[in-house]
Structure 1
């Protein structure tokens, strides 16, 4: 049984160190994901504004051509009016002239509206590009910090995870299930604790429980937290074994 208790201590010791490594990364992974989302949003906005400005440029050019064409046709209609032979032809040309005046007027109005929108969109684009540049700078900074932490700890973490996989195969399935259930249900992930000065995590144990822990021949459960309580010597041995 002592061998099983030692394996549980080893498992907890390894998991606690993996947790420490994860904590070193802090919120960086989540922050990076948030920044990536914001970058994608700003890139989409920049793209939409650029597309809109291109479309407005094309529309402006089309309207200018329409004005040019209508102006030429008006000159032609006015010249034709001088040569008409009856009122019906004159009235028809007059109607065409009025239509072209409307086209020219509406085209000028639309060009003015486009110019205002181009000014607004250009300003929005500048803001979006500045925000995008800022987010990319933040991303590089956060990513650099995370990469630095990962570089410092990756080798150790890989070794620990390999050892954990091997340990899981050696731990009795009943204890392993209980251990994993406790770890997943506790905020600090500590399922196995050492008894120190008659207490576990600062909570005093009943005298009978203390005696059972010192015997080192069974898994003792802390009635207050449900955690497994073992003798400190098992964790001392784990520290020597893994040199963490």
Structure 2
């Protein structure tokens, strides 16, 4: 079964807009778990514009599901992982100034650096996933880096989905099979929502985890957080599409 990890960055953005502690990040994370989330994802950035580094420390001892920390592996981020030791660390290549992650790693150009970072992260007992574009030539180098999993950047899939769903998903099916042949676990994330999620899952049945934040939190404004999490869970549990 594909696991749903709820990214709570947008909750932190709302809190930070007014200062104080409303909404309470820790309480929202615990509620998300209680409502059916099978993991919690955070992506602390250097400017702490949403999730703060202290949030990460506060969340770790309280969570009962899998904790996934995403980020660019500068020294401060690596030290955070060393201190917190989450179940999974997802490496993303975004520099500090970008609004959101918008591409995957060039695992060919950065193979040496990634290999050293993955080895360091493994020494902290965390599983390592590398954020990656759906391009086959990046997958064997990702495996060579020592990664346990790759997370497919699904932004292009989401952009094309409503125009041509089959064309949109085709590259992901191809690299999904390649990842399986390389014994790389497969995650996915970015712009997945209630419209495109079940279709992706049906085409890639061995998908292990999806990380969803922006769309899920937007839907929660209309449907409520508990109902929304259950709606996303049901999308992942639908029978495959013929």
The reply to whether TM is greater than 0.5 is no
Classify the TM-score, shorter chain: under 0.3
- Give the TM-score normalised by the residue count of structure 2: 0.23
* Greater share of residues in helix: 1
Give TM-score scaled by structure 1 length.
Answer: 0.23
Greater fraction of residues in strand: 2
